Structure 1
Amino acid sequence: MARMTIWVDADACPVKAEVERVATRYRRRVVMVSNGGIRPSANPLVEMVYVAAGPDEADKRIADGVVPGDVVVTTDMPLAAKVVAAGARAIRPDGSLLTERNIGEALAMRDLMSDLRAADPFRQGGGRAFSAADRSRFLDVLDRLARD
């Protein structure tokens, strides 16, 4: 079986440095996919892939490249559903692991929140801030996945 690759939906990802740290520890390949604006890494394990500007271009590139056993770091639930269906594992930057068991619920919650925002144009925010505890949980989960 080929070695696992860690894919990162990199444009708004707050844990790129953590991904690099774990990948270096376990000698895992990282593919950071972005619409641009992200500096290249000097780390030889990190490949930067720049896609055309567009709402789903990075997601398409990741979904097309992922293979069973890979790990994808994303907050995008439709992308997470695609990679889980392809046999990969999806992890949010807060350390939440998305699996066949919980991806349906995550998609439903995303759709519900989208409907609520559409119904109330004055609704602001709603999400909680990214915290040090989220970063720590992410590191722990990614470390465990990279060891397997």
Structure 2
Amino acid sequence: MTVWIDGDSCPKQVRDIVNSRCVREKIALHYVANSPLPLPDSSYITMSLTSDAPDSADDFIVQNSRPGDLVLTRDIPLASALVKKQMVVMNDRGNLFTKDNVSERLSQRDFMQMMREAGIGQDKGKNYGPKEIKAFSSCFDRELVRMLREERFRKAAGTR
């Protein structure tokens, strides 16, 4: 298993939580961004820098991640593409993207973007504080434990 992070918009608090947990559990962690991020020195943490082209980091993650990996992103179109590949995808607020909810979230995102472009609607910025960090941490830990358990079961059963 690899944990992938769409690093361009990932809050530092989330990076700290994920870095610590992945190093402690000896899980590969791979950041993808189009600018360097300050990351701790660990053999479990790697980073790929992509071009400044639109969606270059997203395309890299789609091409290189595989089922059994966990991806963290705020990008709903990226989440949609990954869910179609049967990936586990969550955002930095502790929300899982699933085949049951990602289409609705994509539609809501597109509608809100259209409203903002028309000068109607709320600002994009929402508060990100202790409540959101706690929700992320809980969801991340729960999914990581579940995925590690499934991975151990598959290995014991002799499958991928």
Q: Matched residue of 2:9: which SS?
A: coil
1:30 maps to what in 2? 29
2:7 maps to what in 1? 10
TM-fit CA distance, 1:118: 1.2
Residues in 1 aligned to 2:82 and 2:18: alpha-carbon distance in whole angstroms? 18
TM-fit CA distance, 1:124: 5.9
2:117 maps to what in 1? 118
Q: Indicate the percent of aligned positions where both proteins have the same amino acid.
A: 31
- Do the aligned partners of 1:66 and 1:86 also contact (CA within 8 Å) in 2? no
TM-fit CA distance, 1:128: 1.8
2:141 maps to what in 1? 143
Report how many residues are paired. Answer: 144
Answer with 1 or 2: which has the greater Rg.
Answer: 2
TM-fit CA distance, 1:24: 1.9
The answer to whether the aligner puts 1:68 opposite 2:70 as a matched pair is no
What is the identity, as a one-letter code, of the residue corresponding to 1:8?
A: I
CA displacement, residues 22-80 of structure 1 (integer Å, 9 cap, x when unaligned)? 21232211110010131243021111111111220000000101111211100000100
Matches within 5 A, 1:38-77: 38-77=37-76
Instruction: Give the structure-1-normalised TM-score.
Output: 0.91
- Do the aligned partners of 1:23 and 1:146 also contact (CA within 8 Å) in 2? no
What is the identity, as a one-letter code, of the residue corresponding to 1:5?
A: T
Q: Which runs of 4+ in 1 moved over 4 A?
A: none
Once superposed, what is the RMSD of the aligned Cα atoms? 1.5
Query: Which 5+ residue runs of structure 2 have no aligned equivalent?
Result: 147-160
Query: Which 5+ residue runs of structure 1 have no aligned equivalent?
Result: none
1:133 maps to what in 2? 131
- Do the aligned partners of 1:78 and 1:107 also contact (CA within 8 Å) in 2? yes
